[in-house]
Amino acid sequence: MPVISGHVLFAVGGLVVWLLYLITDKEVFAWSTIAILAFVATFGLTMAVRWIGVYRAGPIRAPAPLMTVPPPGAADQRDAWSPTDSWAASAAASAGRQGRPGELAVPPERHFPVSVVIAHGVFAVTTIVLVLLTVLGVGES
């Protein structure tokens, strides 16, 4: 979560600094934008590497239940900690689920479509190249 938050915050901050450069035409804002874009790109590449690993991997296998059948002789013994008579029914019902409640069988990153991730990367590289060309003065007469 800190990488995603940092990526977004630095990107928004970089946009604000770039707008300040466009309004004031002071070079300090242009070079500051380049520095901020370096952080944005670093966080973006970190997330891209994570996404590739998650996307290529299969779904996470649900953990095996801790206990699927009552221990031997449990029907003879009963105390405050022993399961009730409906224990076997609840164990059988939970064995059909893919994990514990609240547990994901697939990481959330796997749901990002490939086209969206690639388009975001293309736009990011385009932005960095255009900012660099502008700051370096390429195309000025």
pLDDT digits (tens, 9 = 90+) for 80-102: 555 555 555 555 455 444 455 55
- For residue 81, being part of any structural domain is answered with no
Give Cα separations from 77 to 52, 74, 82, 88, 141 (angstroms): 52, 5, 8, 15, 92
- For residue 14, being part of any structural domain is answered with yes
**What is the number of domains present in the chain?**
1
Overall average pLDDT of the 34-57 stretch: 89
- For residue 99, being part of any structural domain is answered with no
Identify the band that residue 57 occupies on the pLDDT scale cut at 50, 70 and 90.
Answer: confident
- For residue 93, being part of any structural domain is answered with no
- 130 lies in which domain range? 1-59+112-141
Q: What percent of the chain has pLDDT over 70?
A: 63
Global model pTM greater than 0.95:
no
H-helix or E-strand spanning residue 66: none
- For residue 44, being part of any structural domain is answered with yes
Q: What is the spatial distance between Cα 28 and Cα 18, in angstroms, rounded to a whole number? A: 10
- For residue 82, being part of any structural domain is answered with no
